Chain A
Amino acid sequence: MTAAPPHGRLRTLTASAVIGTDRAGGGTDAAPRLLSEVALLGAQARAGLCVASGLQAVEPPPPDARPVAHDRPQASLLRLLADPDAGLIEEWATLANERGVRIADATVPLVLDWWARQPQRSEAVFIACGKVGEWLAGLNRIWRKPVAAADIPPDADEIWQTGKAAERAALLTTVRRVDPARALALIRSTWSADSADERSRFVTVLFHRSSIADEPFLEAALDDKSKSVRSVAAGVLRFIPGSRLRQRMRERARSIVGTEKKGLLKRGVRLTISPPQQFDKAWERDGIVEEAASGRGKRAWWTRQILESTGLDVWTEVSGLAPESTLEALSGDDFADEAIEAMAVQASASTDRAWCFALADALTERPKIPWTRYSPLWQNLPKPDREALALRAADRIKAGPEDRWQLIAAVQGAWSPEFSRAAMELMVRHAPKRTRDTWQHWHAIEEASRHLHPSAADEFEKAVASVVSDDPTPSIKRSIDRVRLRADMHKEFTS
């Protein structure tokens, strides 16, 4: 036997076996001899393994004063993870955080593993992972907590000047989010060298967090060589209060919007729209397009564009009334639909509560305008307003149950218990004579199943049963199951 340790000899034999004993030169019985020796040395090596020593155990996590959630909610969480639904996991985490409990240690990795792969990572889920979550995220690179607003990289100027188009656009978006003025400065720094495509892409980024500080630059861009840059710049300017473009539009609007007295005593006021007779070439610079899409009147089209770019205060100024009454005074005009849609566009970008409420309400009353197109109006309102609005509109509209469900489902976020019950009872009250399944139902009922307060679970089932057939589609069944699951989840945390 050789004096070398078995492992050393095994390495020599391995080298021969890799190239083949024929080539390694060992005669005809070299292969069987090698195999016999390997059989022996291999067993010796396995039996006499040299174990690594002096290793350090992973430091334990800092103690967490929050107790672990009870077994039943824990088991629910494991079930949710087997078939993950981001909304439900987030709701579980929120409940846990509210109750001051956390996820069990051995489950935390399963949660983080799922969480790290989500496009939108909920803060509540990470918090529910407790100190163990923070500790594990420190050990595992992939789980490091992503910063909500990514920082501007230190070499931002370098990237901006030498980067590829996509890199520059991504950088610009980040910078705009963190430091809007710096984003504008970046655009200006290379403006004369950038292509028309790039320029229009960059100006588009200015939609985000736009302010009067951007106005001089954008106003100048209205004279750009590229038509696309001009039209994007005009698009941004029409949402910047105090911009020169808005002032010009306002003057144009004043010549369109008028009043007349109404009623016997001429005490009431009626708003009238008088569309312009001629297209003014000066309008083009401000992004107004002369040619209308086929089937649409040119004068209505110009009116629409002008009103869309005008601040809402012009309306109250002319009418002398509050937003709700202003809309009422306008409602009988031939061009009321055009005007109200134009106002909705402006209101969507504003945060004026009275306007948003009045417009969202008015839209559900005008059968020709799909109110769902202006859902941002709803998002701008505080939740109690949204709930009041939905109940009011759903009770009033003449359309079918699909629309009623959609109105209710437009209330995003967790519903209050009162609203949940009232809305479901309203559905039962307005139940159609014959049930049917349509995709509008599926979607709205699914949305409702996510937002409903679990205390209204029974009402929900009754409401669903009143509109869909006895053998509901899988999507409806899932929605019903979801509400039950959520109701169980809430109960588990409180019991």
Chain B
Amino acid sequence: MSPWTIEQVNALAPDASSASAGQSLASVRKWSSLGRSERAVWGLCQGSGKDPYQARVDLSEPAFKCSCPSRKFPCKHGLGLLLLFAKDAAQFKSSPEPAWVADWLAGRAERSEKKLEQAKVAEEKPVDPEAQAKRAAKRSERMQEGIAACRTWLEDLVRQGLAAAKSEGASTWDRAAARMVDAQAGGLAGWIASIPESLASGDGWDLRTLDLLGRLHLLLSAAERIDRLPPDLSVTVQSLLGKATNKDEVLAQEGVTDTWIVAGQSISEDGTVRSRRTWLFGRSTARRALILDFAPGSRSFDASLPFGVEFDGELAFYPASLPLRALVKDKGESRPFSGADGTFSDRTIEQALQRYAQSLAVDPWLNRWPLLLGGAAVGRDGDRWWLLDSTGRGLPFRPSFTASVHLWRLIAASAGREVLITAEWDGEYATPIGLLDHATHQFCDLSPRWAA
């Protein structure tokens, strides 16, 4: 059996044309010398060149390598090979790894060890505490100036009225955002950049925008007295202001060990970089975790956490008042979602919102919270659609979701069935991103993307 399903492999394609090229290569007659070992599959594919291309896939991540000249990654040969394996693993004979496979795997292992060593070395490097303190003081001073400027700007906005702000051109917001970047408060730039979108968001724009400004105001007030905040909250505020946390520091901490369920993914596009949110739920701790990753240009996302699987492992959380964002520290083998037993999901919307309220209490800036509702259904009231629990209570769907074909996939896959629905909740709308149906083993990925 292949650990990767056809849908998962398709999701790895950097674009639609690579996907379809990969699909046409997922046929036994395109390949010679197909083989597999515990950790990899490989094959030779005759291309337009003289020598056949050597395609190999490390099954653990998966990672790809091919001798073809394509700039796409993964290339169609890698995709085709893994697709074929997902479709028909029996075509791959267990055999000793040829040198071109074994060498590559060995190289990969070596590189990852080196990385670890480098990290160790960096840790042990002596630092100049005096220079470091100086830099920090300078940075903090500039940031405080930026915060003060932002506060004045924000108050002016409210004094002159949101109606007037609506007619401002894009350059107004760009300029204000750029000032924050200069003041080393890049996080504030993101808040400012999201204002015009909120102003143009249609029905309820006024309340929505004012709420956003209120949260920004709260952030500025917190930033001004950052020294007096409890340590966790202070870290949260710092990261909202744009301070990056070192990954290695996060990984160095002790993590949370549990069976983690990959219950939903959603992808958003920001210019040339796509970012993906993967929501994990701990089966026994009921912890929620957010894994963020990015894919520039035509690259595909890391595929080690496909939707609809669970694994035993350890997650390291970024320090925060509400630790949500995490990194995978240690991961066992993925297996299909094994059922809804446990307390990780909620049965009623009331319970789910209780969790949300508790989270808001420690992080009032929380803007996306994962809901995982068992016994969920879709409800309709005229033109409006709702995420329902079994008691007939409902949360409204985001209008863009209602307008998409995914609403209908959700209806078709949930009506009359006992299913779990994962949704992102922003305090106003629920956006379903995944459906888990243990009985029929139907896992419906609802994240908007080119393939579905």
* A interface residues, Cβ below 8 angstroms from B: 10-11, 13-14, 17-23, 30-32, 34-36, 38-43, 45-49, 51-61, 71-72, 75, 78-79, 82-83, 104-110, 112-113, 132, 136, 139-140, 471, 481, 484-485, 488
Contact = CB atoms under 8 A, between A and B. Distances in A.
B231 interface: no
10 contacts: A23-B161, A32-B217, A36-B217, A39-B215, A51-B394, A55-B393, A56-B392, A75-B6, A110-B452, A485-B24
Contact of B405 (A31, A56, A109): A109
B402 to A, nearest CB: 11
Contacts of B396: 52
B393 A51 contact: yes
Contacts of A54: 392
Counting from the closest, the 3 A-B pairs by CB-CB distance are A60-B416, A20-B161, A38-B214
Interface in B128-172: 151, 154-156, 158-164
Contact of A14 (B16, B210, B217, B442): B210
Contacts of A104: 442
B386 A55 contact: yes
B360 A110 contact: no
Nearest to A461: B29
B388 A57 contact: yes
A54 B386 CA distance: 11
B87 A75 contact: yes
B159 A22 contact: yes
Nearest to A20: B161
Interface in B313-354: 349-350, 353
A82 B155 contact: no
B23 A79 contact: yes
Contacts of B364: 39, 43
Contacts of B292: none
Interface in B14-40: 16, 19-20, 23-24, 27, 29
B217 A35 contact: yes
B187 interface: no
B273 interface: no
Contact of A35 (B27, B213, B444): B213
Nearest to A37: B214
Nearest to B411: A58
A55 B155 contact: no
A132 B151 CA distance: 55
Contacts of B444: 106
Contact of B412 (A18, A49, A72, A132): A132
B12 interface: no
B250 interface: no
A484 B6 contact: no
A247 B442 CA distance: 69
A18 B394 contact: no
Given A21-B159, A42-B211, A55 B388 contact: yes
Interface string B378-389: 111100001010
A53 B393 contact: yes
Contacts, number: 188
Given A51-B393, A488-B27, A106 B409 contact: yes
Contact of A57 (B16, B378, B409, B412): B378
A47 B360 contact: yes
Given A58-B380, A75-B7, A109 B211 contact: no
B246 interface: no
Contact of A110 (B20, B27, B405, B450): B405
B451 A55 contact: no
Nearest to B156: A31
Contacts of B377: 57-58
A72 B388 contact: no
A83 B22 CA distance: 13
A19 B452 contact: no
A20 B164 CA distance: 8
Nearest to B9: A75
Nearest to B19: A82
A484 B379 CA distance: 44
Given A14-B210, A39-B214, A54-B392, A136 B360 contact: no
B215 A61 contact: no
B394 A58 contact: no
A62 B374 CA distance: 23
A46 B273 CA distance: 31
Contacts of A140: 408
A78 B154 contact: no
Contact of B159 (A31, A56, A78): A31
B158 A106 contact: no
Contact of A58 (B7, B391, B393, B415): B415
B20 A31 contact: no
B427 A46 contact: yes
B213 A47 contact: no
Pick from A30, A79, A471 the residue with the most CB of B within 10 Å.
A79
A383 B381 CA distance: 52
Contacts of B116: none
